[in-house]
Chains A and B, each alone.
Chain A
Amino acid sequence: MKKWTLLLLICSIAMLGFSAGTAGAEDKKIKAGFIYVGPVGDYGFSHAHDLGRKFAEEKLDWLETVYVESVSEADSDRIIDRLVQQQKCDVVFTNSFGFMDSTIKAGERYPDKIFMHCSGFKRSDNVGTYFGDLYQMYYLNGIMAGALTQTNKIGYVAAFPIPELIRHIDAYALGIKAVNPDAKVHVKWIYAWYGPDKAREAAESLIAEGCDTLAFTEDTPAVIEVGQEHTEKGKQIYTFSHYSAMQPYGEDSVVSGQFMNWGGMYVKILEDIQAGNWTNEDIWWLAKEGAAILGGNETDPINPKFVDDLKQAMVQTEEFGEISAYDLVMTRYDQMKQGVDVFDPFVGPISDNKGNLQIPAGERASKDDLLSIMYYVDNVEGTIPQ
């Protein structure tokens, strides 16, 4: 009797399994987990990713998402485990460079799941990488900074000394150099992605040192708030917003800036996974793919308050002769949208600030060069912390 019950039980379980299997094939749902390093309200990197997540969830009706914010690197293994084991995620997006090793290890633990790591360089069979880079927009910001600065001292508040940041600082400096070879870039490192207090301190000290123009990589509008405060007190400080539309925090200070649109990339990755076309190939999107966008808010590439100033600022260029800074920005932006082969900031001759030629005349830096760049170009002051 007992044997029969057992047999019946096994049969019913098997049938259940089959029916579940066929139901899944008809309507393949995908559940994606997102792990953010900062809070989604940070107005920076995590915020931008979360907008992308929401965009994808709205667009794809077979997609379900779950996210975890403010995950420290020490805890990332655990959170990945939880998303896979408890939340049954099919795909996990890990959105900070520091999650790289955890993501690779998770790929080994869960060979039948897909992992996508943002900004890293390690891949495996089921771990891919993706990134959208803003260096082109930093170059355009640099053109505006170089045209507007009165003191020829331009500040940069930077998070961590890693290639991504160096690339942004260098692109910014190259944009400045294109219109104002006398201006120098001064960098302050704060060692935090999310550190409004430190960013504020760094911005204040750059202004105290004579900088009148500030750009930054940090996930809050702290630098912009500092610029706005000084501007309201009568000392014009120009700032450039980073990663989200931060212009509302400094209508009189923010000239332009850049933000990232992750939505399109997430939709593409998830559609590829759904269709079974996914590969672990690195995804690297720029202005051409519509990932990198110029501006301090969603509507104006340049704050209308500063458009006239930029139109009046005439600069000399080899390619276009005498041209207004405004036209130069717009022309370059247009070229960037056509592709890196039409225009790219990192075309030689480019020398580092120790006098070594890094990119020979006429050559364009490869993606690998850009991903591992660790030198300041020649109009940046100081040395990279070693």
Chain B
Amino acid sequence: MIHITSTDRYRITRWRVVMTNILSLAAGLVVISFIFMIAGVNPLFAISEIFQGSFGSVYGFKETVTKAIPLILIGAGLTLAFRAKFWNIGAEGQLLMGAIFATWTGLTFGDTLPSWGIIPLMFAAGFLGGALWGIIPAILKIRYAINEVISTLMLNYICAHILTMLIVGPWKGGTRFGFPGTDTLPEAAILSVIPGSRIHYVTLILALACAAILTMIIYWTRFGYEARVVGENPEAGKYAGIDFLKTTLILMAISGGLAGMAGVGEVAGIHQYLGYPDSMSSGYGFTAIIVAWLAKLNPLYTVISGLFFAGILVGGDAIQISLGLPAATVNIVNGTLLIFLIMGDYFLNHKISITFSTP
């Protein structure tokens, strides 16, 4: 007889975290290799093309960094919310609200203010927009016990429709010949990029700084401690006199605000105008949930997991372009890798022992 038992693991070393992730990734790649073989492509060639396309070439790496910027910003903000067990699924909407606020600011003041005046103003406006959109579900949860998974998710759609309403209606640009979308932002309101790339470095620096500052907040401040208590032991938190409303409002303002800033980066750094929601964000708000999770809810690690995930997304291009496989293959590969990384979590938190015995 074979007995499989699983017991909780209490001490998890950093070394074990790294090894589990690497092994999960390797196991995922083995499964993906079979998929490539079925499609008639040499798996070693395919996998090397994917990593060439994301990390192994200068061009690919630049694109990976570009795509990592919003993922790091949003992911870092989400770690804070998730630590307090506030399941914020609404980063996509918070990003769009940030983009809306920043576009308004840019279009209104971009012609009169110089770059060093307008850019910080846009980021502040974007933070405010994202924060406001993040605070709504926080109030709903604490005051009226409305499940935040539902409210944050639904607010995504509301925000997408508000944006659509603005660009087909009052904000439709005069230079767009009747097509939906605002006018292009004034020169001063556009973020400059590292030459030869699309990396809007201001947002990149902000993202790295935010990840670092958030780490300090979570581990070193009273607020960070309170946020963790709210999540892990609300009963104890109540006895200790933690103001749940205040703590939740602040942490959702930060989480939503960072997503809003990511929206500023996308609209002012990449697109330079506000268009349909789908073309402003390719689902960063949702991808960042996984980024935060892979970082084990440590904001600093979102820099690594954000880069890694951006790499998978960018490397996916190679599957289509170099290997000539259909676009759906990209999703299969990304999905498979993810499932294995998440499965790895189980083995990280549980000790599995297999024993053989004769009856």
Contacts and interface: CB of A to CB of B under 8 A. Distances in A.
Given A68-B321, A85-B59, A87-B321, A74 B280 contact: yes
B317 interface: yes
A276 interface: no
Interface in A1-60: 39-41
Given A74-B279, A77-B198, A163-B178, A82 B59 contact: yes
Contacts of B324: 66
Contacts of B282: 72, 74-75
A372 interface: yes
Chain B's interface size range is 35 or more
B143 to A, nearest CB: 34
A160 B275 CA distance: 13
Contact of B178 (A68, A70, A83, A372): A372
B126 to A, nearest CB: 17
Given A74-B281, A86-B321, A374 B178 contact: yes
Contacts of A78: 63, 66-67, 198, 314, 317
Interface string B265-281: 01000111101101111
Given A85-B59, A385-B168, A74 B177 contact: no
Nearest to B169: A386
A163 B180 CA distance: 11
Interface string A60-86: 000000101110111101110111011
B151 interface: no
Contact of B57 (A77, A79, A86, A162): A86
Contacts of A40: 326
B180 A162 contact: yes
Contact of B168 (A97, A163, A386): A386
Contacts of B177: 121, 163, 371-372
B327 interface: yes
A101 interface: yes
Interface string A343-366: 000000000000000000000000
Interface in B301-359: 314, 317, 320-322, 324, 326-328
B59 A81 contact: yes
B327 A73 contact: no
Nearest to A374: B178
Contacts of B328: 39
B320 A68 contact: yes
Contacts of A97: 179
A98 interface: yes
- Quick one: which of B53, B266, B326 has the most chain A CB within 10 A? B326
A90 to B, nearest CB: 16
Given A39-B327, A74-B282, A82-B59, A68 B179 contact: no
Contacts of A70: 327
A161 B181 CA distance: 12
B164 interface: yes
Nearest to A76: B279
Interface string B181-207: 000100000000000001000000000
A372 B178 CA distance: 7
A87 B179 CA distance: 32
Nearest to A38: B327
Contacts of A82: 53, 59, 63, 317, 321
Contacts of B57: 86
Contacts of B314: 78
Interface in B254-298: 266, 270-273, 275-276, 278-282
Contact of B327 (A69, A86, A121, A374): A69
A81 B62 CA distance: 11
Given A78-B63, A161-B168, A162-B179, A83 B198 contact: no
Nearest to A36: B327
Nearest to B184: A101
Given A81-B63, A161-B168, A72 B198 contact: no
A74 B278 contact: yes
Contact of A66 (B63, B66, B321, B326): B321
Nearest to A371: B177
A48 to B, nearest CB: 17
Contacts of B320: 68-69
Nearest to A109: B196
B317 A79 contact: yes
Contacts of B67: 78
A98 B198 contact: no
Nearest to B67: A78
B74 to A, nearest CB: 15
A98 B279 contact: yes
A72 B59 contact: no
B244 to A, nearest CB: 37
Nearest to A100: B179
Contact of B279 (A72, A86, A87): A72
B284 to A, nearest CB: 9
Given A82-B317, A385-B168, A73 B63 contact: no
A222 to B, nearest CB: 19
B278 A83 contact: no
A77 B279 CA distance: 11
A79 B279 CA distance: 14
A50 B327 CA distance: 14
Interface in A363-386: 371-372, 374, 385-386
Contact of A73 (B60, B178, B276, B317): B276
Contacts of B178: 162-163, 372, 374
A85 B179 CA distance: 31
Given A82-B321, A163-B177, A191 B279 contact: no
Contacts of A73: 275-276, 278-279
Interface of A: 39-41, 66, 68-70, 72-75, 77-79, 81-83, 85-87, 97-98, 101, 121, 160-163, 191, 371-372, 374, 385-386
Considering the complex of A and B, which 7 residue pairs feature the smallest CB-CB distances, nearest first?
A73-B279, A70-B327, A74-B282, A374-B178, A69-B327, A85-B59, A72-B282
13 contacts: A39-B327, A41-B326, A66-B321, A68-B321, A72-B279, A73-B275, A81-B198, A82-B63, A82-B317, A86-B321, A101-B184, A374-B178, A385-B168
Interface of B: 53, 57, 59-60, 63, 66-67, 164, 168-169, 172, 177-180, 184, 198, 266, 270-273, 275-276, 278-282, 314, 317, 320-322, 324, 326-328
Given A69-B326, A69-B327, A77-B198, 14 more contacts: A39-B326, A39-B327, A68-B320, A74-B266, A74-B270, A75-B282, A77-B270, A78-B317, A82-B317, A101-B184, A101-B271, A161-B180, A163-B178, A372-B178
